[in-house]
């Protein structure tokens, strides 16, 4: 017997009918506009254009001509990768039929279904995908705002900030102190700050072994904590100190002009200070009226559709969806669901039930890689984790090396999936 | 005693509160010795003075990590699975002998597999005698592991829905490169459909190690696995 159930026909047409009619009349192709060309928006644009074979008019609005991934920028910081290794251009995406506008999206008129551009003019859409990443919460760390980012870099959006932080670490005085003000939950890339600590420790233990690392952390616990702490004790004994909320890590102020960090009233002089403030959805999501009081854009778990507007989808770090961590992998995974749904609604192609996944690899020291990940499904109100895995403490060196090599394989895979 | 008794014992042991304390009867090692000469000896030496030849010698193979001897001929696929935690216990040896590629797709072992479960049990009983203290060798824990990748014929006959597979493949191409390149993570472009199906079920049944793949496979039903196999099987490397 041959089994071949076409199970999902029908859902597409039903969903489409409930929404505003796409511009399928006449010769006009339905229009999809994507704001943000990172792992979420870039993936969505590519899949929408490739899979629809020209049936959709797909426009990507992204100010940068080169996209530098935030993920693996820590490897650059640790001296394992070159800065250029992080950069990807949009040439292939254009060749796949995505109309790319290198400009800022300034505002969204959701009634008129248009996005206005920094350089003037506007583009209209039948469906809008918003994937702007994060912005920092004003006043989250007293004494710090973006005007101080050259003195105290955040280095949490990759690009030049990562270069600046690397230069500061490498030129730190002998025996100096590198301080990190870690962010409260939720924030992008949960293991990211702690992988960064590992990479800074790696550099310092080679170039400046009497230097110290101080983490000021408002969180009681953090991602892969057992794995990181085991690795820090093994590879960088005595170098790293972490002050959690029980010792005032949640009460911190910085003084960029004096290079001081004030922890629960105690003044510490530091040489490099990496401030990673509390985060919220990228500005355009807020301007478009898609965010809630918490600063994130709430979405429906089955298809990442905005709870504010049925014609709008929010992807990746900016979205509030439930259990998935804010990561490039998550955004890539969500984008594929969104691309499938939008294509189904606008071209009557098949819509399949959502499935989501995430994995995060981190490097602790040379060839010492660890990973964490999970599979996700839409629940009643939010996306829920259905199974998870994590590297174990005490794993042998061979397995850790393989995990690191796997992470390189993953990087090559995901950037190929977006920009290839 | 036949291999079937062994599996019955496992099933019984799975009842809460019943511990598996008695030794599990294995196959007939004398018949296994004959089979070894015919099936294995051309490539694998065993016994006193055994050395690596075309394949590694098989002394003390039980409970050893796969691909862990000083032998140059291991495939990257086998070495990778060894690092991921593949150990040669009874169930995995049995699965490997039944169909090497179902357990390790990229294995260098050019052996088509031994279909008859009783013959495999006999063969393993013979090989087992050349491992340290064979009387103490722990059998695989009586867990939910299937003895091999047991796939009913109708599962292999499912005609994969390649269009659905293309949608599902999005979860794969985050890691497995679309180009088919395989540095760090194996390429899966253009795999024969049946190999793909068997491999995914082996992950699903946790016969193959690797947490990410086990997690992925456990969420896929038979039709979804067939759909993915149809999609990837129809692709060619760029």
Torsion of CA A223, A225, A230, A232, to 10 degrees: 80
* Total residue count of chain B as it appears in this document: 238
Is the four-CA dihedral A179, A185, A189, A191 of positive or negative sign? positive
Question: Which residue numbers of B have CB closer than 8 Å to A's CBs?
Answer: 80, 83-85, 154, 157-159, 161, 163-164, 166-168, 170-171, 173-179, 181-185, 211-212, 214-216, 218-219, 223
Q: Is the pLDDT confidence value at B110 over 50?
A: yes
Determine contact, residues B47/B130, Cβ cutoff 8 Å: yes
Q: What is the largest CA-CA distance in chain B?
A: 55
Do the bridges between strand A279-281 and strand A134-136 make them parallel or antiparallel, or are there none, so unpaired? Answer: antiparallel
Distance in angstroms (rounded) separating the CA atoms of residues A163 and A76: 9
Residue B22: predicted pLDDT: 30
What's residue A310's pLDDT? 97
Q: Which of A9-13, A72-76, B169-173, B231-235 has the lowest mean pLDDT?
A: A9-13
**How near does any CA of chain A get to the CA of B165, in Å?**
10
Cis peptide before A397 (omega within 30 of 0): no
Would an 8 Å CB–CB cutoff place A394 in contact with chain B?
Answer: no
Burial string for B98-133 (b: 16+ CB within 10 Å, else e) reads bbbbbbbbbbebebebbeebebbbbbbbbbbebbee
Q: Does B52 have pLDDT greater than 50?
A: yes
pLDDT above 80 for A23: no
Calculate the alpha carbon distances from A164 to A97, A159, A192, B111 in Å: 35, 9, 17, 57
pLDDT-above-70 percentage for chain B:
80
pLDDT at B125: 83
State the maximum Cα–Cα separation within chain A, in Å, rounded to a whole number: 77
What is the Cα gyration radius of chain B?
Answer: 19
Q: Do A399 and B84 touch (CB under 8 A)?
A: yes
Cβ B185–A406 below 8 Å, yes or no? yes
Q: Inform me whether the pLDDT recorded for B141 exceeds 60.
A: no
CB B105 within 8 A of CB B83: no
List all residues 6 or more positions away from A43 whose beta carbon is below 8 Å from its beta carbon: A331, A332, A335, A336, A339, A417, A418
pLDDT surpassing 60 at residue A415:
yes
In chain B, where are the structural domains located?
A: 27-136, 153-233
- Residue window 235-294, chain A: list those with CB within 8 Å of chain B: none
If you average pLDDT over residues A149-166, what whole number do you get? 94
Highest mean pLDDT among B14-23, B50-59, B191-200: B50-59
Whether the per-residue pLDDT at B174 is higher than 90: the answer is: no
Tokens of A19: 């929404």
Give the residue, A27 or B152, on which the prediction is more confident.
Answer: B152
Judge if B27-136 and B153-233 fold alike in CATH terms.
yes
- Contact flag B177-A2 (C-beta cutoff 8 Å): no
In this predicted model, what pLDDT tens digit does every residue of A88-123 receive, in sequence order? 999 999 999 999 999 999 999 999 999 999 999 999
pLDDT of residue B151: 79
| Structure confidence at residue B238 (pLDDT) | 58
How long, in residues, is chain A?
A: 420
CA nearest A374 in B: which residue?
Answer: B215
Per-residue pLDDT averaged across A177-205, rounded?
Answer: 97
A353 touches chain B (CB under 8 A): no
- What distance in Å separates the CA atoms of residue A338 and residue A300, rounded to the nearest whole number? 11
Give B38→chain A minimum CA distance, Å: 36
Q: Is the CB of B177 less than 8 angstroms away from the CB of A413? A: yes
Q: Which top CATH class is B27-136? A: mainly alpha
Does A117 touch chain B if contact means CB atoms closer than 8 Å?
no
Q: Which of A49-58, A257-266, B123-132 has the lowest mean pLDDT?
A: B123-132
**A105-114, A384-393, B196-205: which has the highest mean pLDDT?**
A105-114
Q: What is the dihedral of CA A326, A328, A330, A335, to 10 degrees?
A: 120
Hey, what are B5's tokens? 């008794």
The yes-or-no verdict on residue A80 having pLDDT over 90 is: yes
> Which residues are registered as beta bridge partners of A111?
none
Q: What are chain A's domains?
A: 11-135+280-354 (3.50.50.60), 138-275 (3.50.50.60)
Query: If you average pLDDT over every residue of chain B, what do you get?
Result: 78
Highest mean pLDDT among A332-336, A391-395, B200-204, B218-222: A332-336
The answer, yes or no, to whether residue B17 has pLDDT greater than 50, is no
What letter would DSSP give residue A246? G
Average pLDDT over residues A242-258: 96
Q: Which residues contact B168 (CB under 8 A, 6 or more apart)?
A: A352, A355, B220, B224, B227, B228, B231
Chain A CB contacts of B214 under 8 Å are 389
Q: Are A100 and A94 in contact (CB under 8 A)?
A: yes
Q: What is the pLDDT at residue A377?
A: 94
- At B8, is the pLDDT very low, low, confident or very high (cuts 50, 70, 90)? very low
Whether residues A410 and B174 touch (CB distance < 8 A) is answered with yes
User: Which class would CATH give B153-233?
Assistant: mainly alpha
> What is the number of alpha carbons within 13 Å of residue A95 lying toward its C-beta?
7
* pLDDT of res. B170: 83
The answer to whether residue A389 neighbours chain B at the CB level (below 8 Å) is yes
Nearest to B158 by CA among B215, B95, B221: B221
A9 touches chain B (CB under 8 A): no
Q: What is the pLDDT of residue A388?
A: 87
Candidates B80, B174, B223; nearest CB to A413: B174
pLDDT score of A35: 98
Residue B192 has a pLDDT of 80
User: Is the separation of the CB atoms in A258 and A164 below 8 Å?
Assistant: no
* Of the listed ranges A87-101, A239-253, A304-318, A387-401, the one predicted with least confidence: A387-401
Strands (E), A170-284: 177-181, 212-216, 240-243, 252-255, 260-263, 266-269, 272-275, 279-281
Give B143's contacts (C-beta < 8 A, 6+ positions apart).
B14
Q: Token digits for B192?
A: 């024969």
Contact A416 B211 (CB under 8 A): no
Does the beta carbon of A374 lie under 8 angstroms from any beta carbon of chain B? yes
pLDDT, one tens digit per residue, over A327-377 is 999 999 999 999 999 999 999 999 999 989 999 999 999 999 999 999 999
Q: What percent of chain B has pLDDT over 90?
A: 22
Q: What residues in B contact A375, CB-CB < 8 Å?
A: 215-216, 218-219
pLDDT of residue B11: 36
Q: Which helix (H) or strand (E) is B193 found in, with range?
A: helix B193-204
Give the β-pairing of A260-263 and A279-281: unpaired
Size of interface A-B (CB pairs under 8 A): 107
Alpha-carbon span A335 to A414, nearest angstrom: 12
Lookup: tokens for B21: 């304390």
**Chain A residues whose beta carbon lies within 8 Å of the beta carbon of residue B158:** 2-4
CA-to-CA separations, A340 to A344, A378, B167, in angstroms, rounded: 6, 15, 8
- Rounded mean pLDDT of B162-183? 85
Q: Is the pLDDT of residue A43 over 60?
A: yes
Is A355 touching B (CB cutoff 8 A)?
A: yes
């Amino acid at each position: 017997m041959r089994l071949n159930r076409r199970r999902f026909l029908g859902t597409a047409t039903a969903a489409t009918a409930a929404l505003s009619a796409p511009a399928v009349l006449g010769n006009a192709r339905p229009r999809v506009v994507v704001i943000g060309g990172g792992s979420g928006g870039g993936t969505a644009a590519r899949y929408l254009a490739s899979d629809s074979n020209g049936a959709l008019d797909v426009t990507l609005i992204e100010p940068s001509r080169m996209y530098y991934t935030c993920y693996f920028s820590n490897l650059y910081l640790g001296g394992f990768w070159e800065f250029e290794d992080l950069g990807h251009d949009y040439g292939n995406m254009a060749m796949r039929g995505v109309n790319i506008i290198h400009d800022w999206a300034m505002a969204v008129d959701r009634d008129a279904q248009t996005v206005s551009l920094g350089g003037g003019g506007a583009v209209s859409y039948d469906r809008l995908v918003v994937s702007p990443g994060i912005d920092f919460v004003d006043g989250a760390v007293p004494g710090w705002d973006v005007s101080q980012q050259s003195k105290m870099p955040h280095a949490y959006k990759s690009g030049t900030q990562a270069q600046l932080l690397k230069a500061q670490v490498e030129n730190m005085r002998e025996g100096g102190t590198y301080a990190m003000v870690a962010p409260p939950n939720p924030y992008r890339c949960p293991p990211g700050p702690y992988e960064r600590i590992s990479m800074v420790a790696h550099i310092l233990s080679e170039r400046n072994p009497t230097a110290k690392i101080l983490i000021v952390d408002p969180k009681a616990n953090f991602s892969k904590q057992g794995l990181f702490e085991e690795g820090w004790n093994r590879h960088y004994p005595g170098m790293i100190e972490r002050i959690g909320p029980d010792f005032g890590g949640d009460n911190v102020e910085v003084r960029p002009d004096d290079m001081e960090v004030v922890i629960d009233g105690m003044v510490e002089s530091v040489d490099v200070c990496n401030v990673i403030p509390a985060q919220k959805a990228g500005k355009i999501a807020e301007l478009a009226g898609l965010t809630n009081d918490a600063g994130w854009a709430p979405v429906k778990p089955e298809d990442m559709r905005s709870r504010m507007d049925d014609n709008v989808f929010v992807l990746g770090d900016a979205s509030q969806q439930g259990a998935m961590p804010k990561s490039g992998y998550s955004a890539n995974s969500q984008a594929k669901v969104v691309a499938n749904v939008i294509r189904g609604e606008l071209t009557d192609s098949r819509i399949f039930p959502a499935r989501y996944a995430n994995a995060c690899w981190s490097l602790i020291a040379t060839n010492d890689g660890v990973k964490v990940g999970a599979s996700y499904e839409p629940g009643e109100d939010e996306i829920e984790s259905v199974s998870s895995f994590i590297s174990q403490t005490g794993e042998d060196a061979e397995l850790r090396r393989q995990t690191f090599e796997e992470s390189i394989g993953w990087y090559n895979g995901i950037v190929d999936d977006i920009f290839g | 005693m036949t291999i079937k008794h062994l599996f019955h014992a496992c099933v019984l042991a799975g009842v809460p509160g019943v511990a598996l304390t008695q030794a599990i009867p294995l196959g007939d090692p004398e018949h296994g010795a004959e089979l070894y000469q015919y099936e294995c000896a051309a490539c694998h030496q065993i016994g006193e003075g055994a050395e690596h030849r075309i394949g590694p010698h098989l002394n003390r193979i039980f409970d050893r990590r796969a691909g862990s001897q000083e032998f140059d001929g291991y495939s990257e696929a086998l070495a990778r699975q060894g690092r991921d935690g593949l150990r040669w216990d009874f169930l995995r040896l049995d699965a490997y002998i039944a169909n090497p590629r179902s357990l390790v797709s990229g294995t260098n072992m050019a052996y088509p597999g031994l279909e008859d479960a009783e013959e495999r049990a006999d063969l393993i009983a013979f090989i087992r005698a050349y491992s340290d203290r064979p009387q103490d060798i722990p059998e695989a824990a009586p867990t939910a592991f299937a003895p091999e990748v047991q796939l009913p014929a109708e599962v292999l006959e499912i005609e994969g829905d390649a269009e659905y597979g293309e949608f599902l493949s999005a979860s794969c191409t985050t890691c497995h490169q679309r180009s088919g390149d395989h540095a760090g993570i194996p390429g899966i472009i253009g795999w024969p459909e049946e190999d793909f199906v068997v491999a995914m079920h082996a992950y699903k049944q946790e016969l193959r190690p690797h947490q990410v793949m086990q997690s992925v496979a456990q969420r896929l039903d038979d039709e979804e696995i067939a759909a993915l196999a149809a999609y990837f099987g129809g692709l060619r490397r760029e």
